[in-house]
Structure 1
Amino acid sequence: MSFNNPLDQLYRQVIMDHYKNPRNRGVLEGNSVDINMNNPTCGDRIHLTMKVEDGKIADVKFEGEGCSISMSSASMMTQAIKGKTVEEALKLAHIFSNMMQGKEYDGSVDLGDIEALQGVSKFPARIKCATLAWKAMEKGLHQHH
């Protein structure tokens, strides 16, 4: 990946910060959603646990191993969905999926750090890395309901 412009540099710093200092790392005890997923092509693996109460994601944690893209995406995703309703979390997953496909997304939603992953859409081999945690979250929420 080439990071020549200042925005790319900033995005790279945000991704590396989430990779080196992951948010919401760990496993929730007594959780209502427990999902394991992996990406066999590159060995990324995630274990996602969520506590869903009254239609809201009360808490979320992840464990796993993989490249900086997959682990930082998992960290960003857990930050983004904590406190959100299940519907809001699924909408965010849809927006993120569109962003990874290089499609326009709803600019009225503040993606925060997640925007740093926008450039991944230019590297098809890395898209699965970025979307792994999001797919796990969607699968877990769909199984929960």
Structure 2
Amino acid sequence: MTDPLYQAEILALAKQGRAVDRLESPTVTARVDNPICGDRITIDLAVEDGRITAVGAKVQGCALCQAATAVIAEEAIGVPAATLERAGTAVAGYLAGTLGEGDLPWTRLSSFAPVQAVRARHDCVMLPFKAASRALASLEAVSS
């Protein structure tokens, strides 16, 4: 593939993202669709004492969506739920060019640097973060 968006690191992450399975007993689940490109993700989070203990997902989407899912599944385990929320905000800023690589909470997120120049593909990277945010919002609603 010669498209600069799909460099080796993103393709390797996408392969990992395809291997992420749904959780049997998640604490919260959310599904988000991108009607423009047809990507769809269902994300499952297990949360104990405010920390992410497991991540599961079903991704029906492009390599960018799969790759972002892989980063979340790898990096979110053991972190406070708020850190996952902040990661999504940081990625959005990074893709938009308002935040630098040093502002990213997880180094693997810098793999998405080629996506910065292609605004139409930002949503593909952000979809798993939006699903995670929606799932965490439902956790807060249950806790209230």
| Same structural fold, with TM-score higher than 0.5 when normalized by the shorter chain | yes
1:18 Cα deviation from its structure 2 partner: 1.4
1:22 Cα deviation from its structure 2 partner: 2.4
Partner of 1:113: 108
Partner of 2:12: 17
**2: CA distance between counterparts of 1:62 and 1:24?**
9
**2: CA distance between counterparts of 1:69 and 1:21?**
12
Structure 2 residue 129 is matched with structure 1 residue 129:
no
Question: Larger % of helix: which?
Answer: 2
For the Cα contact (< 8 Å) 2:94–2:101, is it kept in 1?
Answer: no
Q: Which runs of 5+ in 2 are unaligned?
A: none
Partner of 2:138: 143
TM-score w.r.t. length of structure 1: 0.86
Partner of 1:44: 39
Q: Which runs of 5+ in 1 are unaligned?
A: none
1:24 Cα deviation from its structure 2 partner: 6.1
Partner of 1:74: 69
Partner of 2:52: 57
Per-residue CA deviation, residues 48-75 of structure 1 (Å, 9 max, x unaligned), is 0000000000100111111111111111
When the two chains are superposed, the root-mean-square deviation of aligned CA atoms in Å is: 2.0
1:140 Cα deviation from its structure 2 partner: 0.9
The one-letter amino acid of 1:47's match is T
1:112 Cα deviation from its structure 2 partner: 2.1
Partner of 2:28: 33
Across the two proteins, how many residue pairs are aligned to each other?
A: 139
* Misfit runs of 4+, over 3 Å: none
1:39 Cα deviation from its structure 2 partner: 0.5
Identity %: 24
